[in-house]
Amino acid sequence: MKITLNNQDVYCYTNSRDIDSDKPSIVFIHGSGMDHTVWTLAARHFARHGNNVIAVDLPGHGRSTGAPLENIPAMADWLVGVLDALNIKSSAVVGHSLGSLIALEFSARHASRARALAMVGTIVPMPVSSAILDACKNNDHAAFDMLTQYGLSKRHQYGGNRSSGIWMIGSSLRLYERSQPGALYADMNACNEYQSGLERASDVECPTLMVLGSEDRLTPVRGTRPLQEAFKQPEVTVISGAGHTLMMEAPNALLDALHQIL
């Protein structure tokens, strides 16, 4: 589904279904340099369970036009515009990595619009190394290589994808390679500069879930304690053996975790 927002095209994957105002809604937000396709399995699953599903392409990503947005608050406000255009008053929001920060900011800034929050592969703050930032800024393929290597647990570097015929490393690389020049840098820089996350977490009123990978090297579990403590009563699920890219590495376990609040 394509809608128009601020004179730009916005692509929303809805499992080829119209939005039904009588159904609960779930918004899925992708991570840095990626697009809606990372959430296809989860979106289809929850659509079959009676929900409106909206997996968005952020501006300048996937099938959405326009320039990438430069900071997390702007992305959260953009999401409100998308929901307004779809006539959705309230939604659960699920975000991975960068998307988790957008979902957090959305849930805090627009509390009446968020009925549940799920943060996947997350940490706050979310610092990015200068080596990765520099490579992203220069549109250097090394950025794709580093993020793919560190985004997957060591045991998944050699395949093992539960979806037949899919090469995990190749899939991750291809997502980055097809991103628009500058999009990955804008995303990673927005993560690096977002410093109000813990304060925002304390403002969240809706049910909250954190889904973490035990082998995540980008947002390690040991660093998430401040965020866990900032939320009022979060549910926390740690998926054993999984790295940062949980949607690829542990799709079924992730779906089981998301059912806790969705």
pLDDT tens digit at each of 262 positions of the chain: 999 999 999 999 999 999 998 999 999 999 999 999 999 999 999 999 999 999 999 999 999 999 999 999 999 999 999 999 999 999 999 999 999 999 999 999 999 999 999 999 999 999 999 999 999 999 999 999 999 999 998 776 665 556 555 678 888 899 999 999 999 999 999 999 999 999 999 999 999 999 999 999 999 999 999 999 999 999 999 999 999 999 999 999 999 999 999 9
Q: Residue with structure tokens 């794709």?
A: 144
| Contacts of residue 11, Cβ cutoff 8 Å, sequence gap at least 6 | 1, 2, 36, 56, 57, 62, 63, 64
Query: Taking the model in full, what pTM does it have?
Result: 0.96
Q: What is the pLDDT of residue 168?
A: 81
Helices within the chain (DSSP H only): 40-48, 72-85, 98-109, 130-137, 141-151, 168-177, 183-193, 197-203, 225-230, 246-249, 251-258
Domains within the chain, CATH numbers bracketed: 2-258 (3.40.50.1820)
| Distance from C-alpha of 75 to C-alpha of 77, rounded to nearest angstrom | 5
Q: What is the pLDDT of residue 160?
A: 55
- R_g of the chain computed on alpha carbons: 17
Q: Is 124 left (phi over 0), alpha (psi -120 to 50) or beta?
A: beta
Q: What is the pLDDT of residue 149?
A: 92
Chain centre distance of CA 243:
15
